[in-house]
Amino acid sequence: MASDVVVAPAEKKGFLRSVASVLDWIFGFLALLALLAVCSVIPVLNFLSLGYLLHVSGTIARTGRVRDGFVGVRKASVIGSIAAGAWLVIWPARLVSGMWRDAELIAPGSSVAKAWHAGLIAVIAIVLAHILWACLRGGKIRHFLWPQPVRFMRWLRSPGKFGNLQRIATEYVVALRLPFYFWLGLRGFAGALVWLIAPVSVLLLATKLPQGASILVSLLGGILLLLVAIHLPFLQARFAQTDRFSTIFELREVRRLFLRAPLAFWLSLLVTLLFAVPLYLLKIELTPRELAWAPSLLFVMFIFPARLLTGWAMSRATRHEQPRHWFWRWTARLGIVPVGLAYVIVVYVTPYLSWNGSLSLLEQHAFLVPAPLMAL
């Protein structure tokens, strides 16, 4: 007679915790993408987004583990939970606000309207206390759904509560490393701009010249952009890996690393340039300002895996001490040319299709700040 398999309560609890941890990670990753998308459309803050994406490449290049590139997912989960939880708990205040406005429209200054106004103030105070208390307990969705009022009253009576609140908030903000990401993104942007200024300026000049001269100048600009595009992603990853600004100009070092992992370099370059193409297509029509975050979310979804692959290619090259076989080196070289050429052609025709015209040449999505619909 077969015996039933009994699962111990501890095993069940461990399994549920594992499932909850996985779901929390997935939610945190989605929240991270949303935060990067929001930052990418806000001037100055878009350097935070670029800095984070560069840090992803640099981290993988240093450690050699792709999983290390998902930086700050747990912290983003907390921010996303606070945003979602706050959105849920403010609904009572919204309903009371609607009742107060209706009362003011029907009978301005009446006792009923004043009562609803007083009730609105009380509800807002309760909601703010609820949000603060949920954040103090960890900011998870469950903390917003069940406030634990008895524990809250005990906390109010505890000494030094506001000192602890300041300490917790300070530690969390410092752990976000916002100045680090901003400084990294600003320097990465400046270095990429130095590389791109010559080819982009030549292409911009070509749009102002007569047709005959425009073709020759465009050809020169296209060749320059081709040479920059096939090197710049790895120069930026190298810069993020070392955190030294001078390394973004070490072209010889990147070419040496290419010999050690040619196919990985080709694959990462293919994904980086290919995933930038849909963002140019989005500029055919002007996107309404209230929907500017949607293309930016698409941008982050495309560029994030590209940065992961670039860091992975750099890590493979760093681990290998000797160049690969000549067959693989020349296969990658011959494969890089059509990839870069296709990207240059897309950039070349963009001014004739984009709402921004020739200014769209300034929006090099694969290298500069992630603002796909905002000319720099």
Judge contact between 241 and 259, C-beta under 8 A: no
Same domain, 195 and 325: yes
Domain boundary among 157, 175, 193: 175
What pTM was estimated for this model as a whole? Answer: 0.84
Query: Residue 114, Cβ neighbours under 10 Å: how many?
Result: 13
Please tell me whether residues 254 and 349 are part of one structural domain.
yes
Given 141, 175, 209, which residue is the final one in a domain? 175
Decide if 73 contacts 22 (C-beta within 8 A).
Answer: no
In a domain, 17, yes or no: no
Domain boundary residue, one of 146, 175, 204: 175
The answer to whether residue 20 sits within a structural domain is no
**Virtual torsion, Cα 14, 15, 21, 22, nearest 10 deg:** 160
Whether residues 167 and 190 fall in one domain = no
**Are 168 and 183 contained in the same domain?**
no
- 256 contacts: CB under 8 Å, gap ≥ 6: none
Q: What distance in Å separates the CA atoms of residue 360 and residue 281, rounded to the nearest whole number?
A: 11
232-242 vs 262-281: helix crossing angle, rounded to 10: 110
The answer to whether residue 29 sits within a structural domain is no
Amino acid at 113: A
Our CA angle for 56, 61, 64, nearest 5°, is 105
Instruction: Determine the pLDDT at residue 271.
Output: 93
Q: Provide the pLDDT for residue 292.
A: 59
pLDDT at 355: 66
Rg (CA), the chain: 27
In a domain, 8, yes or no: no
Would you say residue 9 lies in a domain? no
287 plus 299 within the same structural domain: yes
Structural domain boundaries, residue 89: 78-175
Please indicate, yes or no, if residue 232 is contained in any of the structural domains. Answer: yes
Those residues with Cβ within 8 angstroms of residue 201's Cβ, 6 or more apart along the chain or in another chain: 221
Q: Is 12 inside a domain boundary?
A: no
Residues 195 and 54 in one domain: yes
Res 194: pLDDT: 93
Alpha helices in 139-283 (DSSP H): 141-145, 149-157, 161-175, 178-206, 211-229, 232-242, 251-260, 262-281
- Please check whether residue 284 lies inside any domain of the structure: yes
What burial class does residue 212 get, using C-beta atoms within 10 Å of its C-beta: 0-12 exposed, 13-18 middle, 19+ buried?
exposed
Q: Residues 104, 183: one domain?
A: no
pLDDT, averaged per 10 consecutive residues of the chain (376 residues), comes to 52 75 89 88 87 94 90 89 89 88 83 86 88 82 80 72 70 85 94 91 84 83 92 94 92 92 94 85 66 73 91 91 89 92 87 69 78 44
Indicate if 85 and 196 belong to the same structural domain: no
Residues 156 and 210 in one domain: no
Residues 160 and 223 in one domain: no
Q: Whole-angstrom Cα distance, residue 141 to residue 164?
A: 22
CB neighbourhood size of 86 (10 A):
17
Q: Which of 375, 166, 189 is nearest to 287 (CA)?
A: 375
Statement to judge: residues 298 and 151 lie in one domain:
no
- 369 Ramachandran zone, left/alpha/beta (phi>0; psi -120 to 50): beta
Is 168 found in the same domain as 93? Answer: yes
Q: Domain total for the chain?
A: 2
